[in-house]
Amino acid sequence: MRVRYVYIILVLFVGGYLSFKFAQIFGDSLFFKNKDRINMVIYGQQSALYSIDTNESRHYVLYFPPDLKMQVPGGYGNYRVGSLGKLAKLDGNQDIYRKTFAFATTAFVDYYFYPAGQEVYYGEKVSKTVTQPSFFDFIKYRSNASIVDRIYLLLTFFRINQADITLIDYLERTNSAKKDIFFQEESFKQESIGLLFQKKYRTEHKSVQILYDDRYQVAKNIASLLEGNGIRVNDISINFIDKKKCLLIEDRPDSNQFSSTVVDMADYFDCSIVKGKTDVYDIIFVLGNIEDDWEVV
């Protein structure tokens, strides 16, 4: 009898724990997140960035040929898109997918999907016809998305009309000596910045000051990333605050809640948030240690 009670208690404990973990995962999933736009990368022979509007039908896709070279944040330099998978595998840093495509497109890349192997892809051509991710991309590929988020994304693409997805084109530059093809970040920013913005950031209309230690170009690139998402950067200055780790400061004297803008920035860059004086700005963004993470050489 005693063994039976122990067994029942054990089953209840395990069941309760699993229920708690599932509720926690579900509560943190896209089903409950207030996102205006979801940006995700499918990596492979024809790598693609999909930007999905959750409220309207302004959906976009960019395709990247394997031989296209892109700047990889973190001090890696320029890499062929078709070699990113091997680089991420060898370095043990799958976040390379997120940062590389975010840096190039000035969009907060939320999720990335990639094959399990280290296959290196080659080719200069991509399809000019819009296609959607396949069912197997969401099921078989590895990803930073949870199983619940995979289900959400799959259901989202099921309801999207393929005709509502617009293909974004971009300029490339060819090195005549080496025949290398480079993605043109600056021309893309000039022509396409603002297409992939989050409406809620423009609604909150927060002003941001970025403080950097010794890498102005990193601060400038992060400013472009923020502005591409609809977050206004008013100033970039040298950091005189004695903080070495990434930190976000928001002046919220009349509220116990932080704004969606600062919460999402903290989540995306893995920073802490504190309340404090921010002078004439709404948010102060102390880059600290992430200057290394987002440096391009």
Give the DSSP letter string of 24-89.
HHHHTSTTT---SEEEEEE-STTEEEEEEESSSS-EEEEEE-TTEEEEETTTTEEEEGGGHHHHHH
- How many angstroms separate the CA atoms of 198 and 29, rounded? 18
For 15-40, write each residue's pLDDT tens digit.
Answer: 665 555 555 554 565 767 778 899 99
Are β-strands 247-250 and 142-143 bridged in parallel, bridged antiparallel, or unpaired? Answer: unpaired
Q: What separation in angstroms does the CA of 293 have from each of 17, 79, 100, 250? A: 36, 16, 11, 23
Strands of the sheet containing 68-72, edge to edge, are 77-80, 68-72, 181-183, 172-174
- The pLDDT score that the predictor gives to residue 281 is 96
Of 44-58, 109-123, 191-205, minimum mean pLDDT range: 191-205
**Across 181-203, average pLDDT:** 82
- How many angstroms separate the CA atoms of 164 and 297, rounded? 37
Does pLDDT of 297 surpass 90?
A: no
- The pLDDT score that the predictor gives to residue 26 is 47
Q: In the structure, what pLDDT confidence band is assigned to residue 177 with cuts at 50, 70 and 90?
A: very low
**Across 188-208, average pLDDT:** 86
**Across 150-163, average pLDDT:** 92
Of 63-72, 123-132, 144-153, minimum mean pLDDT range: 123-132
- The pLDDT score that the predictor gives to residue 231 is 96
- The pLDDT score that the predictor gives to residue 237 is 96
- The pLDDT score that the predictor gives to residue 183 is 84
- The pLDDT score that the predictor gives to residue 275 is 94
- The pLDDT score that the predictor gives to residue 296 is 93
**Across 85-109, average pLDDT:** 95
Does pLDDT of 225 surpass 50?
A: yes
* Better-scored residue on pLDDT, 75 or 9: 75
- The pLDDT score that the predictor gives to residue 8 is 66
Name residues whose C-beta falls within 8 Å of residue 31's C-beta, 6 or more positions apart in sequence: 148, 152
* Most trustworthy range by pLDDT among 5-14, 19-28, 241-250, 281-290: 281-290
| pTM tops 0.85, yes or no | yes
Cβ proximity of 198 and 228 under 8 Å: no
Cβ proximity of 281 and 245 under 8 Å: no
Tell me what percent of the residues of the chain surpass a pLDDT of 90: 65
Average pLDDT, the chain: 87
For 239-256, write each residue's pLDDT tens digit.
Answer: 987 778 999 999 987 777
Nearest alpha-carbon partner for 236 in 186, 287, 202: 287
